[in-house]
Amino acid sequence: MTETNKKRITLTGLREALPLYSFIRPYRLQYGLGLFFLLGSSLANLAFPKLLGELVNAGNAGNLAENINRIALFLGALLVIQSTFSYFRTVLFVTVTEKTLADLRQYTYNHLIKLPLRFFEQRRVGELNSRISSDISLLQETLTSTLAEFIRQVIIIVGGIGLLLYTSFKLTLFMLAILPAVVVLAVVFGRFIRRFSQKAQAEVAESNTIVEETLQGIQSVKSYTNEFLEIGRYKHKTEAIAQVGMKSGRYRGAFAAFLIFGLFGALVTVIWRGSILLAEGEMAAGDLFSFVLYSGFIGGTIGGMASVFTRIQKFLGATEDLFAIFEEEEEQLHDLSENTSIHPLKGAIRFDKVSFAYPNRPDVDVLNTIDLTIQPNQMVALVGASGAGKSTITALLLRLHDVQKGTILFDEIPNREIPLSELRSQIALVPQDIFLFGGSIRENIAYGNPKATEEKIKQAAQNANAMEFIEPFAEGMDTIVGERGTQLSGGQRQRIAIARALLKNPKILILDEATSALDSKSEQLVQDALKRLMYNRTTIVIAHRLSTIKKADMIFVLENGQLVESGTHEQLMLDKKGVYQKLSQLQKMDNE
Ligand SMILES: Nc1ncnc2c1ncn2[C@@H]1O[C@H](COP(=O)(O)OP(=O)(O)OP(=O)(O)O)[C@@H](O)[C@H]1O
Ligand SMILES: [Mg+2]
C-alpha cells in the first residue's frame, strides 16, 4: 500500500479539486436530492433532544397523559421521517458515487493505457497501480460518507450550540468556559496518538515486505542458503513492531483515562451546575435533560470532526495525484477496429542521422547519428555486443519512443507523419523479454489478431513450431498460462510469441533474440518456417548467434550506439580487422 499524501485544506487546494465536479455533474440532480435528505435528517436529528426534554418536562409537570402521548407521537413521526430520509440519502449518495467512480475509473484507465512508454519507465508500475486504486477508493469514501458527515457535523454543532443557548443561556456560557479546553486537548492528544499508530503501521508494512519478497524470491533465498539471515531480519522487525505497539498501547491507555476524566468530568461539572440552577428554579428538569443530551451530541461531533478533517486532507491529496496523471499527454491513437482504412506500408525503412537518448537518462546517447537503409521485403540483421543499442532500434521503429535528432522514415515518409496506430498495426515485434498474459495459450496467440479464426491460430502455432509442445498438453490450446507464463519454458514462451507475431501478419517483422532460448534443432525448425514466412515482408532479426543470420540480405553491425559496419556476411568477413570478423571469431572459439 502506498500512503496517500495529505494536503492542507486551503482555498487553492479546494479549487484544485473542482475538476472532479465534471465527473459528478451528470448526476448533480441526484446528488442535490441526496443533500436535501441529508439536511432534513440532520435537522430532525437535532430536534430529538429538545422533544425528549419536553417529554420529561410534561411528565414532571404532571401534564395530562394526552399531552404526553402527543409529544411521543410527534417523536415517533419524526423518527419515521428521519429513518426514511437517511435511507434515501444513503441510496442516492451511493448511486451517484458508484456511477461517478465507474466514469472516473474508465477515464483513468483509458488515459493511462494511452500514455507513452516514457511515462511508465519513469515509475514503478505496481506502485502506480496501487496508488491509483487507493486514490480512487479515497474519493469514493469522500463522496459517499465524508462529505455528508462533514455537512451533518456543521449543522449539529452550529444548530446544537444555538439550541443550547436557547435552552439555558447561563449554563451554556458556563459550559463554553470549560469544554473547549478539554476538547482541544483531546484533539491534540488524539492526533499525536494517530501519528504514532501510523508509525506502527509502517513497521508492520516493512515486515510484510520482508515476507513477501523472500517468499516470492524463495528460489534465490534457498540457493544462497540465506534462510537464517532472513529469519534474523524478520525477528528483528517483529520485535520492533511489538515495541512500538506496546508504546502505542500505553499512550492509548493514557488517552482513554484522560477522556474519561476530562470529558466526563466536564459533563459532571456541567450537570452539577445545572442541578444548582434547577434547585434555584432557573431551569426545568426536562431542559437540563435536553441540555445534557445536546452537550453529549456536540461533544461527540466535535470529536469526530478531527478524523473527517484528516480524510478531507487525504481526499485533496488524492485528487491532486490523480489530476497530475490526467495532465500527462496521451499518444495520438485511434481505434483501428472501427473500419478505418489503413495506408499499407511497402516495407522500406530508412534511418536518417538518428540520435537517441532515453528520457530518463537524457545525457547518454544510446544511438549516435545512425544512417541505415532497408529495402522492402529484405531480411536484415542487427548484430553487436550487449548494450550496443539493438533493442533500442526496435523500440524506435515501433515509435515507443521518439528520437531527439534525425528522422526515421517508412517508405520515405517521416514516421511522425504516419498515424501511430496505423504504423504499429503493421509491425510485429517478438521482444527479448516476452510477456504472456494470464489467459490460455489460444488467447495469448490471438492477441496478435483478436479476430483471427481458429484455423489461422493453429496455423500460426504450427509455423512457430509451437504445436509440438501444445498438443501433448491435456488442455491443448486451452491450457492456462500461469501468471506471467511461468509454467512454460523460455523456449516455449518464445514460440508462442512468434506465433502471436505471425498471426498479426505484419509488413515488418522484428525478431529480437526470438529464438535464443531454443535448442539447435527447434531453432532450425523455426528458422525454416520463418524463411518461408519472410516472403513479402521486411524482417529484422537480432541475434547473438551469428550462424542464424548468415543468409541475411544485409547485416548492420552496431558498437556503442554507432553503426560501424554493414554488408552481407561474405562482405563483412573480408575485412580481417572488422568488428563482425572479431565477433565471428569469438563464436567459433566457443563452438570448438
Ligand atoms: N528503458 C531504458 N531506459 C534507459 N536506458 C536504457 C533503457 N533501455 C536500454 N537502455 C540502455 O540503452 C543501451 C542500449 O540498450 P539496448 O537494450 O538497446 O541494447 P542491446 O543491444 O539490445 O543489448 P542486448 O544484446 O543485451 O539485448 C544500454 O546501455 C542500456 O542500458
Ligand atoms: Mg536487446
Nearest to 267 by CA among 304, 239, 293: 293
Ligand 1 within 6 A of CB of 308: no
Q: If DSSP codes are grouped into helix, strand and coil, which group holds residue 491?
A: helix
Residue having the nearest C-alpha atom to atom 29 of ligand 1:
387
Instruction: Tell which atom from ligand 1 comes closest to the C-alpha of 544.
Output: 25
Of 394, 400, 431, 397, give the one whose Cα is nearest residue 333.
400
Query: If pLDDT is split at 50, 70 and 90, which confidence band does 183 have?
Result: confident
Do domains 1-167+313-331 and 349-591 share one topology? The answer is: no
Angle, in degrees to the nearest 10, between helices 265-279 and 169-216? 160
pLDDT for 60-116, tens place per residue? 887 778 888 888 898 999 999 999 999 999 999 999 999 998 998 999 999 999 999
Tally the C-alpha atoms within 13 A of residue 325's C-alpha that lie toward its C-beta. Answer: 26
pLDDT in tens, 305-328: 878 888 888 888 888 888 888 899
Using CB atoms within 10 Å of the CB of residue 405, give its burial: 0 to 12 exposed, 13 to 18 middle, 19+ buried. Answer: middle
**How far is it, in rounded angstroms, from Cα 488 to Cα 505?**
24
- Please work out whether the CB of residue 390 comes within 6 Å of at least one atom of ligand 1: yes
Report the residue among 391, 402, 579 best suited for mutation to probe ligand 1: largest number of ligand atoms under 8 A from its CB: 391
Within 8 A by CB and 6+ apart from 56, the residues are 285, 286, 289, 290
The answer to whether 171 touches 283, Cβ cutoff 8 Å, is yes
Instruction: Tell me the whole-structure pTM to 2 decimals.
Output: 0.78
CB 413 within 8 Å of CB 385? no
Residue with cell 499518444: 331
3-state class (DSSP) for residue 430: strand
Which CATH superfamily groups domain 1-167+313-331?
ABC transporter type 1, transmembrane domain (1.20.1560.10)
Distance in Å, CA 185 to ligand 1 centroid: 58
Give dist(CA 326, CA 447) in Å, integer: 28
Phi, psi of 413, rounded to the nearest 5 degrees:
-105, 125
Q: Which chain residues have CB less than 5 Å from ligand 2, an ion?
A: 391, 432
* pLDDT score, position 435: 86
Mutate to test the pocket of ligand 1, among 119, 367, 390, 393 (most ligand atoms within 8 A of CB): 390
- Indicate the SS3 state at residue 405: strand
User: Is 426 in contact with 447 (CB distance < 8 Å)?
Assistant: no
Domain parsing of the chain, residue ranges: 1-167+313-331, 169-282, 349-591
Q: Is 392 in the pocket of ligand 1 (CB under 6 A)?
A: yes
For the Cβ of 432 lying below 6 angstroms from any atom of ligand 1, the answer is: yes
DSSP for 9-35, please give it: --HHHHHHTGGGHHHHGGGHHHHHHHH
| Secondary element (H or E) of residue 510 | strand 508-512
Percent of the chain scored above 70 by pLDDT? Answer: 95
What pLDDT score was predicted for residue 2? 45
Q: Is the CB of 358 under 6 A from ligand 1?
A: yes
What lies within 8 Å, CB to CB, of 194 at 6+ separation is 310
Structure confidence at residue 5 (pLDDT): 64
The half-sphere exposure of 434 on its side-chain side, counting CA atoms within 13 A, is: 30
Q: What is the pLDDT of residues 270-284, one digit of tens each?
A: 889 999 999 998 888
CA neighbours closer than 13 Å in the CB half-sphere of residue 280: 8
Most confident of 47-61, 112-126, 446-460, 526-540: 446-460
Q: What is the CATH number of domain 349-591?
A: 3.40.50.300
* Residue carrying C-alpha cell 520515405: 412
Rounded mean pLDDT of the chain? 87
Helix then strand then coil, % of the chain, to nearest 5 = 65, 10, 25
